[in-house]
C-alpha cells in the first residue's frame, strides 16, 4: 500500500514538473514574441450595426479584438501584456496594437481589415507678438472676440507646467457645459483656464500609464501659453524683451494632452489624444509636431484631423523646420491649417565691432553687464585651428582660444547653444556665430556669448520676414494644394517655461525665448479660437479661409515680405502671407468647404476606395461619385500644374464664395497674373444682396507659348475680389511641367 502511494506521489511530481516546464516554455515563447513586437496602427472597416447605425465604444473595442491572433486573445490575461494599446472611437476606425509582422499577415486575411503600418515617431517642430499682430488690450478684435472666452483649445505636446501664472484663471469663466474632459494632476491644480490635462505619452511604446502630464521638456508649456496664456506682467529673459506676456486668446480654456517627450511623439499616442479630445469637447486642436510627407491615408495626423473637422473642430499644425529647401513641408492635408514661421519686429540685438570699424548685427539673449565692449580682443576663425569639425566648434575640438573671440560656423554635430559651450570650455571670451550660406540673413536669439550688446530693439521695418528654417512647399502629398497656408510669429518668441533659464528669479513667472514653426502654430491656434468665439457658426474651412484671404503680403516698411536672402519670399514660403487677426475677423467673403466635399478630391488623388475609407470612416465608391482635380477643391488659394500638351496647357476651375459681410455688396475682380500665364475669370463682378449668399465664378489658366522654357520653374500671382470695405485675396502659383 505504501509503495503504491509512493508511486502515485512520484507521478504527481513528474506531472507537476512537466507543467512547470511547459509554462516556462510558454513564457519563453511569449518573451520572444514580445521582443519581436512593435506598435502598429491598424485600420479596419466599421462593424455592421445591429439595429442601429451607431456603435458604442464597447462594440467597437469588441470588434477590434476579433482582429488579434487567437492565441493572443486566449492568453492576454495570463502570459502576455495586452496587445491593444489604443482603441479609436471618434477620429478613426481602428486601433494601435503590439504586433509581430506575422500577426499582421494573419490579420490581413480577416474580413473587415483595411491596412496596417508600423507607427511613426514624429518630431516636435521646435510677449511682444500680440502687439505686433495688432492685438491690444481693451481694444478692437481682442475686445470684440471677448479674448476667446468659452472656446476650448486642445494642445497636443509635451505636457504643461500647471502652476505658472500664465495658467491663472483670473478673468476666465467656467468652461462650457459641453466640456467632458478630466484633469490627471493630483490636487486642485486645474482651474477655469487649465480645464483638462491628460497623459498619453509613451503608452504605445510600452511606458506605464497614469503619470500626470507634467512638462519635462518645456516645449508644451511654451506652446500652450502662446495659444492661450493669461496676462503676466513683468515678463523678461536675461533682462531682455521686457513687458506683459500673454497668449493669443488669453481668456480661452486650455486642455492639455501630453503625447511627446524628448525622443519624439508616437503616432498611436497622437491619434489617441485626438480621439479623446473629440469626446472631451474641444473647439481647436493645436499640434506643433509632424514628420515627413506621406499619403494622407498613412498619416495619422491627417486621418485624426479629418475626423476632428467632421465634428467642427479646427486643426492647426506646424509646417516643419526643414527649410529653406523646397518640398520639405509636413502636415499637408487641405483640411489642416499649415503654418510657417516668420519674424516679429523685435530683435534681441548684439553687435560685433571689428578692429576695422565694421559692425555686424546679430542676436543673443546672453548679454552680460560685465563684458567690456570697449576692449578689443583677438578674433580667431575656428576653422583655421584644424579640421572641419573645429570650424563648427563641435564638442572637444577647440584649443588655443583662451581670451579670444571665436568665429564658429553653423552646422556640424552640435546645436547652436552647444557651440557656445565649447567656446566657453576652451576659455574663449566670446563667440560670433556664422550662418551657412543657405540660411542667409536669418538670425535667432539664443543664449550665445557675443560682444557689444545693444539690447532689445523694436520696430524692425523688415518684419515680418520668413525664417530660413521654415519648411517650404510645394506639397509632395498633393501638389495641387498650396502649402504652407499661412505664416505667423515663430522666431525668438517669449513664452512660459517650466524653470528659470537665467537664474534671475525665484518666482514661478519663468520664461524662455525659442524659435520654430512650433511657435508659429499656437499663434494661429489662438487666433482661430478668437475667430471661433467671434463667429461660432463658422466652419473650420470658413475660419481657415478668413485667415488666408486677409493675410498681409507686405512688411512694416510697405515692401514685399522677404526671406532669408532679403529678397521677396515666394508663395511656397509664405503661402497666403502673414496672419492679420483683425482683418480675419471681417473677411467679407469666405471659401467654405464641408467634409463631404473632400471625398471627390481624394478620389482625384487616385487613392483607392479602401484608402479613402481610412480617412473618411465611410464606404466610398469613386466610380460612382466621381473625381475632381486637386485644384478644383474650393480652396482659398490656387496651385496649378501646367504642361506643354494641350490637356494641361489650358485648365478651367471654379470657386464658390459665401458672403459673410454686408448684405448688399459688390466685389470687382483684380488680377495679377503669373508670368507667361493668362488668367481669365468669369464673371468679373460679384453682386450680393444678402448675407450667406453664395456665388460661383470660373477661372481659366492658359500657359503662353514658351512658359517654363526659360528655366523658371514656377510663376506667381494673385486673384483678388475688392469691395469698398474688403480685399479678398487668393495667391496663385503655377508650376511649369513638361
Q: Which residues are catalytic?
A: 157, 219, 518
Of 567, 501, 496, 32, whose CA–CA distance to 225 is shortest?
Answer: 496
Instruction: Identify the helix (H) or strand (E) that includes residue 521.
Output: helix 517-534
Sign of CA pseudo-dihedral 300, 304, 309, 314: negative
Three-class SS of 148-163: HCCCEEEEEECCECCC
Of 278, 341, 251, residue with least CA distance to 532? 251
Of 442, 484, 482, the closest CA to residue 463 belongs to 442
The three grid cell numbers given for residue 600, joined into one nine-digit string: 471627390
User: CA 606 to CA 611: how far, in whole Å?
Assistant: 10
Name the nearest CA neighbour of 539 among 252, 254, 310, 317: 310
Largest CA distance in the chain: 113
Query: In 623-646, which positions are buried (b, 16+ CB within 10 angstroms) versus exposed (e)?
Result: eeeebbbbbbbbbbbbbbbbbeee
With beta carbons less than 8 A apart as the criterion, state whether 315 and 296 touch.
no
CA 700 – CA 723 distance, rounded (Å): 22
DSSP 8-state class, residue 323: T
Torsion of CA 39, 44, 47, 48, to 10 degrees: -170
What is the grid cell recorded at 253? 480654456
DSSP bridge pairs for 667: 686
Residue 620 CA to residue 607 CA, distance in Å, equals: 11
Alpha-carbon torsion (407, 411, 416, 421), positive or negative: negative
Q: What grid cell was written down for 687?
A: 453682386
Residue 9 C-alpha cell reads as 506521489
678 by Cβ neighbours in 10 Å (0-12 / 13-18 / 19+) ranks as middle
User: From CA 135, how far away is CA 514, in angstroms rounded?
Assistant: 21
E runs forming strands in 319-465: 337-342, 346-353, 359-363, 379-381, 405-409, 430-434, 453-458
The DSSP 8-state label assigned to residue 552 in this structure reads: B
Order of strands, edge to edge, in the sheet holding 694-703?
589-590, 650-659, 694-703, 677-682
Question: How is residue 433 written as a grid cell?
Answer: 556665430
Exposure pattern of 414-447 as b/e (b: 16+ CB <10 Å)? beeeebbbbbeebebbbbbbbbeeebbebbbbbb
Residue 462 burial class via C-beta count within 10 angstroms: exposed 0-12, middle 13-18, buried 19 and up: middle
In the structure grid, which three cell numbers stand for residue 147, read together? Answer: 479674448
Residue 472 CB coordination number (10 Å): 27
Give the helix, strand, coil percentages of the chain, each rounded to 5: 25, 25, 45
CA 286/CA 157 separation, integer angstroms? 9
| Cell numbers that stand for 414 in this block | 552640435
Task: Evaluate whether 719 touches 631 at the Cβ level (below 8 Å).
Answer: no
Listed residue (567, 138, 578, 547) closest to 345, CA to CA: 578
Cβ-contact 686, 697 below 8 angstroms: yes
Residue owning grid cell 494641361: 648
Amino acid at each position: 500500500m505504501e509503495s503504491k502511494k509512493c508511486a502515485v506521489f512520484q507521478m504527481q511530481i513528474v506531472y507537476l514538473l512537466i507543467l512547470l516546464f511547459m509554462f516556462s516554455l510558454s513564457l519563453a515563447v511569449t518573451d520572444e514574441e514580445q521582443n519581436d513586437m512593435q506598435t502598429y496602427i491598424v485600420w479596419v472597416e466599421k462593424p455592421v450595426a445591429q439595429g442601429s447605425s451607431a456603435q458604442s465604444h464597447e462594440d467597437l473595442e469588441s470588434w477590434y479584438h476579433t482582429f488579434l491572433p487567437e492565441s493572443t486573445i486566449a492568453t492576454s490575461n495570463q502570459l502576455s501584456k495586452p496587445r491593444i494599446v489604443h482603441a479609436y472611437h471618434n477620429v478613426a476606425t481602428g486601433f494601435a496594437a503590439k504586433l509581430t509582422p506575422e500577426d499582421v499577415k494573419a490579420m490581413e486575411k480577416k474580413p473587415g481589415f483595411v491596412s496596417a503600418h508600423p507607427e511613426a515617431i514624429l518630431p516636435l517642430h521646435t510677449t511682444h507678438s500680440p502687439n505686433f499682430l495688432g492685438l491690444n488690450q481693451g481694444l478692437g478684435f481682442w475686445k470684440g472676440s471677448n479674448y476667446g472666452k468659452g472656446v476650448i483649445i486642445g494642445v497636443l505636446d509635451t505636457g504643461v507646467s500647471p502652476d505658472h501664472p500664465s495658467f491663472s484663471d483670473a478673468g476666465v469663466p467656467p468652461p462650457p457645459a459641453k466640456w467632458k474632459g478630466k484633469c490627471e494632476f493630483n490636487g486642485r491644480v486645474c482651474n477655469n483656464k487649465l480645464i483638462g490635462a491628460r497623459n498619453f505619452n509613451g503608452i504605445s511604446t510600452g511606458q506605464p500609464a497614469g503619470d500626470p502630464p507634467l512638462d519635462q521638456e518645456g516645449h508644451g508649456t511654451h506652446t500652450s501659453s502662446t495659444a492661450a496664456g493669461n496676462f503676466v506682467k513683468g515678463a523678461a529673459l536675461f533682462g531682455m524683451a521686457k513687458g506683459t506676456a500673454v497668449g493669443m486668446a488669453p481668456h480661452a480654456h486650455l486642455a492639455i494632452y501630453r503625447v511627446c517627450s524628448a525622443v519624439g511623439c508616437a503616432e498611436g499616442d497622437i491619434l489617441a489624444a485626438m480621439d479623446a479630445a473629440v469626446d472631451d469637447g474641444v473647439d481647436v486642436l493645436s499640434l506643433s509636431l509632424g514628420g515627413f510627407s506621406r499619403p494622407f491615408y498613412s498619416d495619422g495626423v491627417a486621418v485624426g484631423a479629418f475626423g476632428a473637422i467632421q465634428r467642427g473642430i479646427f486643426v492647426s499644425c506646424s509646417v516643419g523646420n526643414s527649410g529653406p529647401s523646397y518640398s520639405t513641408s509636413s502636415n499637408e492635408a487641405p483640411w489642416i491649417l499649415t503654418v510657417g514661421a516668420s519674424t516679429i519686429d523685435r530683435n534681441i540685438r548684439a553687435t560685433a565691432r571689428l578692429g576695422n570699424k565694421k559692425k555686424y548685427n546679430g542676436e543673443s539673449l546672453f548679454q552680460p553687464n560685465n563684458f567690456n565692449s570697449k576692449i578689443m580682443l583677438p578674433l580667431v576663425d575656428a576653422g583655421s585651428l584644424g579640421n572641419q569639425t573645429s570650424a563648427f566648434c563641435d564638442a572637444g575640438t577647440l584649443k588655443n582660444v583662451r581670451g579670444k573671440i571665436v568665429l564658429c560656423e553653423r552646422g556640424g554635430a552640435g546645436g547652436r547653444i552647444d557651440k557656445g559651450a565649447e567656446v566657453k570650455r576652451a576659455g574663449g571670451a566670446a563667440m560670433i556665430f556664422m550662418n551657412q550660406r543657405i540660411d542667409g540673413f536669418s538670425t535667432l536669439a539664443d543664449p550665445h556669448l557675443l560682444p557689444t550688446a545693444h539690447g532689445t530693439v523694436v520696430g524692425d521695418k523688415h518684419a515680418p520676414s520668413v525664417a530660413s528654417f521654415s519648411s517650404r512647399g510645394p506639397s509632395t502629398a498633393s501638389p495641387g494644394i498650396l502649402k504652407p497656408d499661412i505664416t505667423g510669429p515663430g522666431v525668438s518668441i517669449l513664452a512660459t517655461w517650466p524653470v528659470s533659464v537665467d537664474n534671475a528669479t525665484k518666482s514661478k513667472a519663468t520664461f524662455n525665448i525659442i524659435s520654430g514653426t512650433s511657435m508659429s502654430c499656437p499663434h494661429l491656434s489662438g487666433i482661430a479660437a478668437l475667430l471661433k468665439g467671434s463667429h461660432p457658426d463658422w466652419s473650420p474651412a470658413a475660419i481657415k479661409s478668413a485667415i488666408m484671404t486677409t493675410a498681409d503680403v507686405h512688411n512694416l516698411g510697405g515692401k514685399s515680405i522677404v526671406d532669408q536672402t532679403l529678397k521677396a519670399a515666394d508663395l511656397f514660403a509664405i503661402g497666403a502671407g502673414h496672419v492679420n487677426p483683425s482683418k480675419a475677423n471681417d473677411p467679407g467673403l469666405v471659401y467654405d468647404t464641408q467634409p463631404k466635399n473632400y471625398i471627390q478630391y481624394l478620389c482625384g488623388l487616385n487613392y483607392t476606395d479602401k484608402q479613402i475609407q481610412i480617412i473618411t470612416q465611410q464606404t466610398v465608391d469613386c466610380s460612382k461619385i466621381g473625381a475632381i482635380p486637386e485644384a478644383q477643391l474650393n480652396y482659398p488659394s490656387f496651385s496649378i500644374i501646367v504642361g506643354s500638351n494641350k490637356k494641361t496647357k489650358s485648365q478651367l476651375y471654379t470657386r464658390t464664395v459665401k458672403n459673410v459681410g454686408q448684405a448688399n455688396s459688390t466685389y470687382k475682380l483684380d488680377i495679377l497674373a503669373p508670368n507667361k500665364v493668362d488668367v481669365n475669370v468669369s464673371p468679373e463682378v460679384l453682386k450680393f444682396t444678402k448675407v450667406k449668399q453664395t456665388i460661383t465664378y470660373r477661372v481659366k489658366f492658359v500657359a503662353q507659348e514658351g512658359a517654363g522654357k526659360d528655366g523658371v520653374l514656377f510663376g506667381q500671382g494673385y486673384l483678388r475680389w475688392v469691395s469698398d470695405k474688403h480685399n479678398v485675396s487668393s495667391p496663385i502659383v503655377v508650376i511649369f511641367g513638361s
